[in-house]
Amino acid sequence: MEEKKSNQIKAILYVSVWVIIWGTLGSLIDYPLYKNKIYLEGSIYQYLTFAITAIISITIAKFFYKKFQL
């Protein structure tokens, strides 16, 4: 039982770290595009930026999840 609880905590922490990575990466890509007026805040392109970085982040997270064997 203790091992199952430990694995759940590790999985939750792993997902939390990847959400932070995704948000940071998305923001780092979004900021110069927004500041250089390539698109406006709230436009479809801003949503696409975060959606694409989410897909990339999920793909990488799944790859590393298998490697870490959580």
Choose the most confident range, by mean pLDDT, from 4-8, 60-64, 65-69.
60-64
pLDDT at 32 over 90: yes
Does 1 score more than 70 pLDDT? no
**Annotated domain spans of the chain:** 16-68
Model pTM above 0.75: yes
Mean pLDDT, rounded, for 60-68: 88
Residue 43 clears pLDDT 90, i.e. is over it: yes
The phi and psi torsions of 56 (rounded to 5 degrees) equal: -65, -45
Q: How many CB atoms lie within 10 A of CB 2?
A: 6
